[in-house]
């Protein structure tokens, strides 16, 4: 049986067979079956697909996978959402990080986590080679189509990412790091691998994840470098976003962080009843 700390208050009630509530409450957790849809998109002269995987009918959170090589995060999310319900939106890109496509006979390449502003689109295309005004519009349409697949009603967008040892970590945001200016607050825990991080636009999530002992970064939604990444896009709108990122292969650590996030979001929705003190 799962430890009770991993369950929502409602699920904990459901597990206690003696509770009179257990008969009248609908089951909120369980083995949800994945309902998968594939949506095609014409990107220049290439057809690329998005996959939308839905678990259950009630969707509060949407997980998004932009880098198709980051399979650890996706597998962990599939396992957790089977129990929790939710949505995964992903780019199908032959297990590659960068997206390449032909346009009028020339190949162009971009990082799909740098396309959520025109400035970002120009930067990433420039960094990877050629630029062309017609291509800017093509990439912008691709980004907009992807964003349309994320329901407006979700209370939190969770970005699924993995990294390699030592490349990008909580240290990137600490004094002397490359991205210090992007962070409003940083919490680093010596017991955690510095590559395993929670990076968020949201104060509540930062407070929760850091108090649970995870390396946590609160994005400075104003000062952050506007690189066209999804965190910048949601930060500018003051929308709740979190990137959970572990090293490749660390599926259990990923699942634990994701479950703790869901628990924190549940807890916020259903705060424990205050205890009467006489
Ligand atoms: Zn990534």
Q: Provide the CATH number for the domain around residue 239.
A: 3.40.630
Is residue 8 assigned to a domain?
yes
Distance of CA 6 from the midpoint of ligand 1 (Å)? 26
d(CA 72, CA 99): 19
Ligand 1 centre to CA of 114 (Å) is 11
C-alpha 202/C-alpha 208 separation (Å) is 10
Does 48 score more than 60 pLDDT? yes
**Residue 277 within a domain:** no
What is the average pLDDT across 211-226?
97
Q: Are residues 72 and 20 in the same domain?
A: no
Span from the CA of 26 to the centroid of ligand 1 (angstroms): 36
Residue 206 lies in a domain: yes
Element (H, E) at 219: strand 215-219
CA distance 88 to 97: 17
The answer to whether residues 119 and 100 touch, using CB atoms and an 8 Å cutoff, is: no
Looking at the DSSP bridge assignments, the partners of residue 41 are 48
Total domain count for the chain?
Answer: 2
Higher pLDDT, 249 or 130: 249
Indicate if 25 and 39 belong to the same structural domain.
no
| Residue 162, strand partner residues | 246
Distance from residue 161's CA to the centre of ligand 1 (Å): 4
Does 11 score more than 60 pLDDT? Answer: no
pLDDT (0 to 100) of residue 63 = 98
Q: How far is the CA of 88 from the centre of ligand 1 (A)?
A: 15
- Is residue 278 in a domain? no
10 and 64 in one domain? no
- Same domain assignment for residues 153 and 169: yes
Contact 4, 12 (CB under 8 A): yes
**How much distance in Å is there from the Cα of 98 to the middle of ligand 1?**
10
The verdict on 153 and 236 lying in the same domain is: yes
Assess contact for 255 and 171: CB atoms under 8 A.
no
Is residue 172 in a domain?
Answer: yes
pLDDT at 274 (0 to 100): 65
Within 22-145, strands assigned E span 34-43, 46-55, 61-65, 86-92, 99-103, 106-110
Same domain, 3 and 80: no
Residues spanned by the domain of 11: 1-29
Alpha carbons 232 and 227: distance in angstroms, whole number: 7
- CA 134 / ligand 1 centre spacing (Å): 26
206 C-beta neighbours (distance < 10 Å), count:
23
pLDDT at 271: 81
Least confident of 14-18, 224-228, 263-267: 14-18
The reply to whether 128 falls in a domain is: yes
pLDDT in tens, 228-269: 999 999 999 999 999 999 999 999 999 999 999 999 999 998
Burial class of residue 9 (count of CB atoms within 10 Å of its CB; 0-12, 13-18, 19+): middle
Q: Which residue has the higher pLDDT, 272 or 164?
A: 164
Asked if residue 94 is part of any domain, the answer here is yes
68 and 98, same structural domain? yes
Does residue 2 carry a pLDDT above 60? no
90 and 19, same structural domain? no
Question: What's the CA-to-centroid distance between 10 and ligand 1, angstroms?
Answer: 33
Tens digits of per-residue pLDDT, 75-102? 999 999 999 999 999 999 999 999 999 9
In the prediction, which pLDDT does 275 show?
64
Higher pLDDT, 125 or 3: 125
The percentage of residues in the chain with a pLDDT greater than 90, rounded to a whole number, is: 81
The first and second tokens of residue 176, run together, are 């002397």
How many Å lie between the centroid of ligand 1 and the Cα of residue 162?
Answer: 6
Residue 15, pLDDT > 50, answer: no
Q: What is the largest CA-CA distance in the chain?
A: 78
| Domain co-membership, 122 together with 21 | no
């Amino acid at each position: 049986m799962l430890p009770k700390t991993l369950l929502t208050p409602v699920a904990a009630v459901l597990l206690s067979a003696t509770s009179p509530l257990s008969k009248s409450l609908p089951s909120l957790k369980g083995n949800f079956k994945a309902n998968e849809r594939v949506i095609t998109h014409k990107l220049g002269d290439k057809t690329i697909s998005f996959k939308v995987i839905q678990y259950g009918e009630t969707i509060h959170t949407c997980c998004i996978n932009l880098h198709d090589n980051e399979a650890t995060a996706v597998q962990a999310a599939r396992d957790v959402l089977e129990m929790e319900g939710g949505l995964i939106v992903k780019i199908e890109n032959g297990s590659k990080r960068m997206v390449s496509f032909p346009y009028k006979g020339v190949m162009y390449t971009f990082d799909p986590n740098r396309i959520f502003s025109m400035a970002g689109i120009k930067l990433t295309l420039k960094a990877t080679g050629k630029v062309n005004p017609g291509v800017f519009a093509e990439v912008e349409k691709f980004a907009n189509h992807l964003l349309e697949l994320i329901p407006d009603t979700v209370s939190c967008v969770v970005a699924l990412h993995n990294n390699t040892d030592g490349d990008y970590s909580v240290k990137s945001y600490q004094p002397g790091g490359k991205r210090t200016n992007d962070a409003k607050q940083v919490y680093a825990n010596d017991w955690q691998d510095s590559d395993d991080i929670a990076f968020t636009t949201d104060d509540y999530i930062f407070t929760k994840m850091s108090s649970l002992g995870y390396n946590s970064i609160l994005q400075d939604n104003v000062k952050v470098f506007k690189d066209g990444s999804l965190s910048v896009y949601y930060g500018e709108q003051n929308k709740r976003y979190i990137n959970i990122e572990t090293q490749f292969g660390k599926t259990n650590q990923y699942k634990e962080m994701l479950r703790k996030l869901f628990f924190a979001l549940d807890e916020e929705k259903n705060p424990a009843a205050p205890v009467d003190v006489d």
